[in-house]
Amino acid sequence: MSNTRTLSSLLTDPHGPYGKLIERSRLYHNLHTQLESFLGRDIASHCRIQNLREGILLLQADAPSWAARLRFALPRLLEQLRTTPELGRLHEIRVRVVPTEPPRPAKSRRAKLSSAAAAILDNAAAGTPDPQLRDALRRLALRGKR
């Protein structure tokens, strides 16, 4: 006897690992379609299904502002999703913020100092009796000479 199976039989077997994966993929696809119809495309485009397990649907939003809008719609969404046969046992929806792009580091903004302003600061430093203030003014004046 041969233990070989056709690819289609592996993929369509509802009890096999590939069949289960395909069924879960179909469920997530249908769920995403429902999210678009219930929430509208603007919110749904910023929302992803992260997991569905033990009656808890975990959604991720790509920014805190979209997560807030999503949380506002959760009671109505939960009620609507429960009408779907596969989601009859759904009892909770959680939202997480997962940015799609990492935040960009802030660029260092150094003020540019003209040579005329540097000369004024240098003159002010020369006429200042306080040694700490004089040194600070001279350091600042050096920025205009670079």
Does residue 146 have a pLDDT over 70? no
Residue 91: what pLDDT?
92
pLDDT value for 44: 87
In contact, 113 and 144? CB cutoff 8 Å: yes
In this structure, are residues 47 and 36 in contact, taking their beta carbons and an 8 Å threshold?
Answer: no
Q: Are 36 and 73 in contact (CB under 8 A)?
A: no
129: which 2 tokens? 């009796």
| Segment 55-114, tens digit of pLDDT | 999 999 999 999 999 999 999 999 998 888 888 888 999 999 988 776 677 777 766 788
* pLDDT digits 0-9 by tens, 1-44: 556 777 777 777 777 888 888 888 888 898 888 889 988 888 88
The three-state secondary structure class of 16 is coil
Q: Residue 40 and residue 68: Cα distance in Å, rounded?
A: 15
